[in-house]
Amino acid sequence: MLHVRVIVPEQVTDRVRAALAGDDAITHLVVLPGAALEPAGDVVEFDVVREGASAVLDRLRALGLERDGAIVVERVDATMSAAADRAARRVPGLGVDAVVWHEIEQQTGEEAELSASFLAFMAVATIIAAIGVLLDQPILIVGSMVVGPEFGPLAALCVGLVQRKWHLVRRCGVALGIGFPFGMLITIGAVWLLTLAGLVNESMLLAARPLTDFIWKPDALSWVIGFLGGVAGILSLTSAKAGTLVGVLISVTTVPAAANAAVALGYGAGDEAAGSALQLVINLAAIVAGGVLTLLTQHVVWRTVSSRRKR
């Protein structure tokens, strides 16, 4: 269930009440006349079950409230209410399967920014992966996957493509197009410094690394795993199951592939750098393909459920 707080200009309050009245998905409706100071207006609060939230938010946005007032949506962790239970029973579908498109757009849009934090996480994750590659230590590879921030822009890219929000697609492209090269350049410098310090050397890269050589030897399974990772990642976001996302992050080799390419470039191993770069491209493409297909499927299902509800 979601809690929605709306600031409404006084002259629009009656239209808002009419838009909300009688909707089976809504419960706990409260109107506070004149309670809002900035922006000034009335405050309308209500709870809505996730499976009916998108249609309700569409009606509010159609009234121009995001321009003339405000619409704030919060997740409700626990609800002890017979009225809420009745609302959940009245609306077709299950809340865990519902996609609240406005929530997903907002959430992924924030992840698409090219920020200093994003670049810092990318650099740290890539360096950790590079050390893991040289030591042939899968635990460090897994750690770098969790630290890596790249799935946020990838998820936002999927949303932008499905919703045809090209400004979001451009922002994601910039974040990824700058983030990965930045992390690789910093990693090359870090590897050179570690080499000068005598902590690593080229022979570690050229030695047999049976536990991590999959990073630069892509095959058909690389695409399959990346595709499934994209599906699972989008499902974890749309169903609000953040715990599942950790499993997604440690299933695809985006950051490790970039790190291995950086190490190979730093030591002049062209063939291994090319293989790692190919692994990176395959994983990125597969994640986006899986994510887009998942969102398109959810969109079709959502429209079908909504049409049934209207009838």
**What percent of the chain stands above pLDDT 70?**
89
Work out the pLDDT band at 174, boundaries 50, 70, 90. very high
- The tokens of 114 are what? 């090219």
- Taking 90 as the threshold, does the pLDDT of residue 66 lie above it? no
SS3 49: coil
Alpha helices, DSSP H only, in the chain? 13-20, 50-62, 65-68, 82-90, 101-111, 116-135, 138-147, 151-163, 166-196, 202-206, 220-238, 242-249, 254-267, 270-310
Please give the mean pLDDT across all residues of the chain: 86
- What is the reported pLDDT for 244? 47
The residue count of the chain comes to 311
